Amino acid sequence: MTVQYDIDSNHNENSLEQKALAELKAEHYKEAIELYKQLWETSDDKKWQQQLSYCYLQRATSFAERGMYREALLLWDNYTQFAESPEEALDLYICWQIQGEDGHKIQTALKQLSAQQIDQQFPELAVLLGCLILTEKPEFKRYLPQDSIFIAHLKIAQVALQAYLDNDQQQLNEVLKQIPYRSAFRDFKTLLNAAQNYPQSIEQALTKISVRSPYYQALSLLHCSTFEGAKLVQQLGKYSYSQAREIAEIKGFNNQQQQLIDSLVEHRDDISDQVKFNVLIQYQSLWPTGVAEDICKAMLIHYPEGHKDFKKHFNGLSGFEENRLKALACENKSNNIEAEAYWRQCVEALQYENTDNNLKMALILRHMAALQDDIELCNQLMIESLDYDADDLASYQHILHYFKQSDLDRAEYLQWLQLGLEHFPQNIELLTLAVQQEIENRQYKKVSEYALQIISLDPLNRFAKDILFSSYLDHARKLIQDKDYQSVEQYINQAQDLKLGQKNRAQVQLVLGLYYYADQDKSEGLALITESLAKIHKDPVNRCLQAAMEALLTALPVANILEGIETAENYLLSEQQLSQVIHQLNFYAKDFDHQLLLLKALDRVATTITNSLSQQNYEEPLLIELSESLEKINAFELLQHCARLAVERWNAVIWQYYLIYSELKGMAEKCSSAQINRLEKIGEQAINNKDERTKVLIDVFIEQYYQAHSETSTGLVDSLFTLNSEEGEGAYIDPTEQLFKHIPEDELLKVMDKSDELMMETTPEQLVEGLTQDSDKNEHILIAMMQDPDLFSALIVIKAAISLEIDIKLSINDVLGFFNVEQVAGAS
């Protein structure tokens, strides 16, 4: 774009000069040239001429830098029109002419060079000309000033090169010494020296020659030729085809190798599995016999598309091998379903072979099991694998774990445990499972046998020792209970001999005390009991609980045994002591037969525990732990007390569940429809809270309810009518039934339908908010609803009747009164 300016005044001229200077500084030489031309036309100022020559030279250079030498040379002509001494940039002009490849013009340009210029003024041009004369343009020599130092050094370099070609080491060394440091042939000298000491000196020479030197490429090629194999191929990619060929020639590669290099260089940016596979097939003669085949076979896992070519070029694969590779290829792509199908075909192929393939088949089946997401199918595969290799411990462990976890088929579990023990009678893990199983079966003799077997294999096995310890003491207690005192001491001593630490010693002392009390000296027995309990527990509640339980287990009078124990009344349990109570409950509850005795023992300390729960602020996890233990032994009253307190404090789903559960004494069949609705609602809350455990508890309880009732309907109306027809002895009477029995059936049906609808969309909190604005009373009603979910159902019925505008002749206060809840002022 041409820039046109008026320059009528000095002011304008100044302004134009500023603009021209600005363009020049911004390296916008084309625009600057236009402006300076205008300035130069108005006044023949030398200053404009200089600026113009500068701008033209800069433009020419920028074209040359982009490889546009023709344009550069045209601009050079413009430059010479304005430049006072254009020969100052003659080196550039000659370089551009060399690139322009016009022999005549190059010759003319070279002839313009003086000896002073080539020797001193243009050292880089001299290096380039020297390199060109020594390689592809020897004729340039003729056009250069023959009296120059350059020509003198050129002659020396040529002699040196000839001496090198003639292998005349002495002459070469002598001649090279004549090339001084400041010479256009310094890099050539370095290159020749490096070639003489090839390959050791190449790397060092690379640090001495600039990458822009015309000799650098030659040195770089020499360096490349020192590489071998894959590294050489990688390096060759940097050079032109002809240069790469020269290097290959030097290395002495044969045609096959040369073609392999060409192929690899061609795909150097992406040597895919396909390229590798094809290269291996095409140039297989470059490797020892069979290698290419082996590797191609291995590669089929990553490149399954190669199966066809593999068959074409090598011996075919057996059916088994083909499926094996396909299976691995699928696994490689995380396609386990197809992989499994191929593995199955492998097993089938192996079955038809004459050789003993049992182990292979077993291993494949186990491998398939490991790929399987479905645990049932996985287990089936493990079982199948044992048909072929029955002595695999890991398989038994896996199968046993599956049946134990799934809890589906107890008989199956026992059968596999038995099989496992038959094959691995000395495996401690299996023996441990056997111990656990016999504990469950209450086969204590077998428990002891297995435990003793474990100890014979592993004398320090703590699990087995603990089991034996308990077993001996249990037996001793049983003998005391049966008044068969003859061998009590023997069992006590056996427990003692296990040497399980201080606490266990105290347990032994306790049973010994019970024995003494029963058969020997009562006061000595009581003293031993008291002393041992003092060692085991620091608080009277735990002592009392254990004393009562031990007395019950040995059929001794509880009251007498407790005489020596400090009373537990008015004692407040610390968190740690409550935790110990839980531990005791869990310990004794392990034996189902002890459950009733445990409840009796618990009665002795129930008041103390109740008081502690009311007065101590225990953490929620501890109370959950306690509730779990109480639930296990059906201690409903204590559980209800605990749940009520917890609902007030945390109002969590688990406590709402425990409250309903304990109120119903664990009997799901006694659930009212309102309670079931409530349970379903809090079940949803449990899902929202991601409280899986509580959700499972609730689901199991609801399931028990539905199993107990032939009707599966969840509707409140259905429940009411169902209850109406269940007025037999012991049938549960829903309080809401009594409250609404006066309502005509057609109206009741409508109201109940609406109630079911409201039940689904209203929480107790929302319902209470609608009754009164008094937050204290709201909370009061809310707690009452938590304690008796039938209140919630009844209030929902009232709300349904109001919304349907059906007069059921009952108010909210009537309902609250019916449930003995303080009435709400202003409520209709």
Partner 1 sequence: MTVIKTPYQILDVQPSATDAEIKQAYLSKVKDNPPDSDQLLFQSIHNAYIAIKDFKSRINYDLFTIPNVDFNELIDHALKVAPQDSITARQFNTLLQASVDDSTIQKAISQVTK
User: Considering the rule CB under 8 A, would residue 249 count as an interface residue with partner 1?
Assistant: yes
The 10 Å CB-count burial string (b at 16+, else e) for 245-276 is bebbeebebeeeeeebbbbbbebeeeeeeebb
Binding segment toward partner 1, per CB under 8 A, in 160-168, 427-435, 606-614, 636-644: 160-168
What mask, x for binding partner 1 by CB under 8 A, covers residues 18 to 37? --------------------
Of 4, 85, 240, 570, the one binding partner 1 (CB under 8 A) is 240
Our CB check for partner 1 shows the closer of 252 and 728 to be 252
Nearest to 612 by CA among 540, 538, 661: 540
* Shortest Cβ 62–partner 1 spacing (Å): 10
Place of tokens 């109630």: 755
The piece of 12-20, 138-146, 238-246, 473-481 that touches partner 1 (CB under 8 A) is 238-246
Shortest gap between Cβ of 99 and partner 1 (angstroms)?
Answer: 6
Cβ pair 611, 572 in contact under 8 A: yes
Q: Other CB atoms closer than 10 Å to residue 606's CB: what's the count?
A: 16
Piece of the chain touching partner 1 by CB under 8 A; list 3-11, 245-253, 571-579, 627-635: 245-253
Q: What is the 3-state secondary structure of 7-32?
A: CCCHHHHHHHHHHHHHHHHCCCHHHH
Q: Which helix (H) or strand (E) holds 192?
A: helix 186-196
User: Whose Cβ is closer to partner 1: residue 370's or residue 731's?
Assistant: 370
DSSP letters along 105-141, please? Answer: HHHHHHHH--HHIIIII-HHHHHHHHHHHHTT-GGGG
Which residues have C-beta within 8 Å of that of residue 84, sequence separation ≥ 6? 49, 50, 53
Residue 10 or 167: which CB sits closer to partner 1?
A: 167
* Sign of the torsion formed by the C-alpha atoms of 523, 528, 529 and 533: positive
CA distance 376 to 361: 20
Task: With beta carbons less than 8 A apart as the criterion, state whether 385 and 369 touch.
Answer: yes
- Cβ proximity to partner 1, 33 vs 247, nearer residue: 247
Residue type, 266: E
- Span 752-781, contacts to partner 1 by CB under 8 A: none
Instruction: Assess 276 for contact with partner 1 (CB under 8 A).
Output: yes
Q: What tokens were used for 442?
A: 């209450």
- The answer to whether residue 218 forms part of the interface with partner 1 (CB under 8 A) is yes
Q: What share of the chain is helix, strand, coil (3-state, %, to 5)?
A: 75, 0, 25
- Of the candidates 106, 100, 60, the one whose C-alpha atom is nearest the C-alpha of residue 80 is 60
> Which of residues 135 and 773 has its CB atom nearest to partner 1 in the complex?
135
Examine residue 98 and tell whether it contacts partner 1 (CB under 8 A).
Answer: yes
Q: Which stretch binds partner 1 (CB under 8 A): 280-288, 558-566, 683-691, 789-797?
A: 280-288
Q: In angstroms, what is the minimal distance from the CB of 61 to partner 1? A: 6
- Choices 232-240, 523-531, 611-619, 682-690; region in contact with partner 1 by CB under 8 A: 232-240
Q: How far is the CB of 139 from partner 1 (least distance, A)?
A: 15
Residue 509, C-beta contacts closer than 8 angstroms, at least 6 positions apart = 528, 531, 532, 535
Residues 316-355 touching partner 1, rule: CB under 8 A, are: 324, 328, 332
Which of 118, 149, 222, 552 is the binder for partner 1 (CB under 8 A)?
A: 222
- Residues 127 to 156 in contact with partner 1, rule: CB under 8 A: 127-128, 131-132, 134-136
List 253, 314, 424, 444, residue binding partner 1 (CB under 8 A)? 253
Show the site string, 42-81: x = touches partner 1 by CB under 8 A, - = not.
-------------------x--xx-x--------------
Smaller CB separation from partner 1, 323 or 813: 323
Which of 91, 322, 756, 790 lies at the binding interface for partner 1 (CB under 8 A)? Answer: 91
Q: Does 306 contact partner 1 by CB under 8 A?
A: no
Based on the shown chain and the rule CB under 8 A, indicate whether residue 205 belongs to the binding site for partner 1: no
When asked if residue 314 is in the footprint of partner 1 (CB under 8 A), the reply is no
CB atoms within 10 A of CB 592: 10
Question: What residues from 728 to 757 belong to the interface with partner 1 (CB under 8 A)?
Answer: none
For partner 1, the closer CB: 44 or 136: 136
Q: Is there a contact between 184 and 129 (Cβ–Cβ < 8 Å)? A: yes
DSSP H stretches of helix in 569-619: 575-589, 595-615
- The interface region with partner 1, picked from 223-231, 553-561, 569-577, 771-779 by CB under 8 A, is 223-231
Report in angstroms how near the CB of residue 107 gets to partner 1 at its nearest.
17
> In this structure, which amino acid lies at residue 129?
L
DSSP label of 618: -
Residue 291 found at the interface with partner 1 (CB under 8 A): yes
Q: Count CB-CB contacts under 10 A for residue 287.
A: 13
Q: How far is CA 437 from CA 449, 469, 568, 616, 767, in A?
A: 13, 17, 38, 40, 51
Q: Which of residues 107-126 bind partner 1 (CB under 8 A)?
A: 122, 124-125
Q: Is 464 in the site for partner 1 (CB under 8 A)?
A: no
